[in-house]
Amino acid sequence: MLYSRFNRCPRCRGKSNQQQYKSCGAAALTKDNHHWRGNQTSPGCMQTSHTGWRSRSITDMPLLLKLLFIFCLAGLVLSQDMPYEEYMAQIQACPAVCRCPPNFPRAVYCDNKSLKSIPKVPPYTWYLYLQNNLIEVLTADALQNATQLRWINLNRNKITSEGVEQGALSALSHLAHLYMDDNLLSSVPSTLPPTLEHLRLSRNRISKIPAGVFIGLDKLNLLDLQGNKLMDDAVTEVSLKGLNNLVQINLAKNQLSSMPLGLPPTTTQLFLDGNNIEKIPAGYFKGLPRVAFLRLNHNKLGSSGVPNDVFNVSSILDLQLSHNQLTEVPLIPSGLEHLYLDHNKIKSVSGSSVCPVAVDDTVETLNESAPRLRYLRLDGNEIKPPIPRDVILCFRQLRSIVI
């Protein structure tokens, strides 16, 4: 009989050696498929001291049991189910300048290393972290060895549009997340892989979106272009063609003076803060039937440029119009839950002008058609308390008003 501290583990008593190892959460090398299956070491394996050792030593164990025992003691955790051959190849191919955690074998950390080029990436890498380096060029062969990549973080480097060579990304047939914030790009990279879901390009120098660059990117649902140099002629129906399943688009802090055209009807979150937008065309949001979160803070919107019923869209839940030049409160849609109108030039507010339904002070119960506004912010205007009674009667679900 093999005496070890497994015999002291309450969960292990009465079990065979093989069962004991599995019960205690050792990394098991299964006989049928030779895969490493990682589980965290059970606290029960570590409760006894060395006094639990008896007649037979570890040197008498079969080789496989030795390996399993060592892994159990080390508490090895493999976070992905990975064939043993791939695991060893991945760890051995780790670049000397990078970090490849054994318990997270598909991730390679090469961040904060002052790298000027991308090192050779191990073949089974899914997650590659290269942020905070000095990389200027993304060559066509830089990632040819890492075709299984799902996630690349290239934030805060010095990559230019000219430095992104043709085909540098298109061969990555599994890539879902590409982060290139805080670089020196002047244009959206072309030939992106069709598997892409999230594309973050904020705080670059992007002034143009090449026509057709998004065609074929049917899985792309998040596009972040915040903090660039995009003007009205760059964001058009032609340049945005192909974004058939886009959910969130961030165009904040650009140089737009009008509402962007050609946004896909699937858009749910539209962020346009910090531009120079002065007006919203009547019926603009009829082309965006799913928009729920709309941010237009820090623009130049005046009441003359905002049709009273332009926001009367049933899908809008959160509307932010802070830090503009509005003098009147626009009509509030029934489904709206949060409204930010702080720091404008509004002098008064009345229920008769902003309520989406007729104000009836005899109605005490709520129904499905009743306004759902819960949060209203009006501070930083010229409004003086108290809030008019007809406003309170209209928005009976209000929980907070800031004035």
Which pair of structure tokens corresponds to residue 1?
């009989």
pLDDT tens by residue, 145-186: 899 999 999 999 999 999 999 989 988 999 999 999 999 999
122: tokens are 């191990």
Q: What local confidence, expressed as pLDDT, does residue 6 receive?
A: 36
- For residue 61, pLDDT beyond 60: no
pLDDT band at 67 (very low <50, low <70, confident <90, very high): low
- Non-local (6+) Cβ contacts of 113 within 8 A are 97, 98, 133
Query: 280-319: per-residue pLDDT in tens?
Result: 999 999 999 999 999 999 999 999 999 999 999 999 999 9
pLDDT digits (tens, 9 = 90+) for 334-375: 999 999 999 999 999 988 778 888 766 434 545 667 899 999
Q: What is the pTM of this model?
A: 0.79
pLDDT of residue 298: 99
Q: How far apart are CA 186 and CA 159, in angstroms?
A: 10
pLDDT given for residue 11 in this prediction = 44
CA angle 77, 78, 84 (to 5 degrees): 130
Percent of residues, the chain, with pLDDT higher than 90: 64
